[in-house]
Amino acid sequence: MLKNSINQITVIGSGVMGSQIAMVSALAGLKVYLQDISEESLKKAEESLSGHMKKRIAKGKLSSKEVNEAFSRLHFVTSLEEAVKETDFVIEAIVEKVDAKRQLFSEVDRLAPSHTIIATNSSTIVSSKLADVTNRPDKVCNVHFFNPVLVMELVEVVKGPHTSEETANTAVELVKQIKKTPILLNKEISGFVANRILGKIIDEAIYLLENDIATVEEIDLACTKALNHPIGPFALLDLTGIDVNFNIRQILYEETGDESQKPQNIIVEKYTNGEYGRKTGKGFYSYNF
């Protein structure tokens, strides 16, 4: 049986996505556990979130009281058991590796109450690749946020063949509860809606660059000044992470055997050089933080 209302959620993985999902949820009034095996990553997450919140307070978008209350509801922990033992809803946001996620899902299934829904934030790994390691496949689904989570409003909820109607509905309600806009996909498809459309734009941008048609800056300008996109595809790759793009394409290629899904040369080159984008200070552009 599912509980009717969600009071407590757990986000696993304190990277950019996980930490901001946790913050958004705490701001909306939920008790939140943000769990990571790395103390250092949790510390970085807390610092980064504090920085974002300070800016919002300075702009008058949030009061210090709202922020302090949200932080008092947000618990940074390394213990998985502590993070999930009383939780209603888990959102996994760890590395995009099926094996790591399967192992985590199986542990969470063992440690969390029987009513708890276990969701993955992945947009490439559909939940049917994970549900079978649990004893509650009906309570497993994808709940996919966009980067930066503090700003982007859409969240895709994806129902696998194993996901119950009740679980999908609860996930949709949770998205509304944390003041985001849900769309519900009734069938699994890798990439879901937004990233499939975005992927086509990025592929074309890389094709134009690799064929010396225009530069990174010019292609980005075409998207911002002709199409009114907020940022161009290369600036966006730097924001979301070239490593993330590499891993996603690698998974798609391995799944389908389709050569056109392979990470393109420029992505492999940047990935191999450790130029992941904003997080490493260099990607298609250079950053000084």
Residues lying near ligand CAA in the complex (CB under 6 A) are found at 52, 55-56, 59, 61, 123, 146-148, 150-152, 195, 198, 230-231, 236, 240, 244
- Is 156 labeled as catalytic in the residue annotation? yes
- Is 25 labeled as catalytic in the residue annotation? no
What is the CB neighbour count within 10 angstroms for residue 130? 27
Cβ within 8 Å of residue 261, ≥6 positions away: 249, 252, 253
**Which residue, 136 or 270, has its beta carbon nearer to ligand CAA?**
270
**Which residue, 80 or 236, has its beta carbon nearer to ligand CAA?**
236
Catalytic residue among 25, 41, 122, 156: 156
CA 122/CA 219 separation, integer angstroms: 28
Please, are residues 253 and 260 in contact by the beta-carbon 8 Å criterion? no
- Is 269 labeled as catalytic in the residue annotation? no
Do strands 181-185 and 117-120 pair parallel, antiparallel, or not at all (unpaired)? Answer: unpaired
Least Å distance between CB 22 and ligand CAA?
13
Least Å distance between CB 85 and ligand CAA?
29
CA 48/CA 43 separation, integer angstroms: 9
Catalytic residue among 41, 121, 123, 245: 123
- DSSP-derived letter for residue 277 is B
- Is 123 labeled as catalytic in the residue annotation? yes
Catalytic residue among 121, 144, 188, 190: 144
Least Å distance between CB 132 and ligand CAA?
23
Least Å distance between CB 243 and ligand CAA?
11
Q: Which residues pair with 33 in a beta bridge?
A: 10, 75
**Which residue, 57 or 111, has its beta carbon nearer to ligand CAA?**
57
SS3 21: helix
CA 233/CA 267 separation, integer angstroms: 13
Supply the residues annotated as catalytic. 123, 144, 156, 195
